[in-house]
Amino acid sequence: MTTTKKIIKKAGAPTVVTPDVETKLESILKIGGTIAEATTYAGISERTYYDKQKRDEAFLQKMESAKHYADVAAKNVVVRAITEDKDLATAKWWLEKREFRESRMTGLKVQDGNMTVEFIDHES
């Protein structure tokens, strides 16, 4: 007696985002890599990455945090140079940077839960 088995393959089955994949994504995002670079390194598609973000708030927060890691680390270095090393040049640079940024802002607006900043165009 011969039996025939029907094999059904699902095309495009989603790749599972394992803890190892998350670690790889996070490592690339922490050094300023793009989503494309991170997903290529981790071996998943960008679609899988974005689908995971939509489904998993903790994953979204982890990846957003990773994207800002180097910025926060750099700011800590600058603030330490000012507060601990009493570095005058760094302190002047920091104040000039803040003053420039604040001088360009005219105000914050919140509409429908979104915050916007209006800037003055000093070129006009």
**Every domain of the chain and the residues it spans:** 16-73, 87-124
Q: State whether residue 84 is helix, strand or coil.
A: coil
Render pLDDT for 46-84 as a digit per residue (tens, 0 to 9): 999 999 999 999 999 999 999 999 999 998 999 899 899
Q: State whether residue 111 is helix, strand or coil.
A: strand
Higher pLDDT, 26 or 94: 26
User: Between the ranges 9-23, 28-42, 83-97, where is the mean pLDDT highest?
Assistant: 28-42
Is residue 67 a contact partner of residue 53, using CB atoms and an 8 Å limit? no
What integer pLDDT is reported at residue 1 of this predicted model?
A: 58
What integer pLDDT is reported at residue 65 of this predicted model?
A: 95
The model's pTM: 0.62
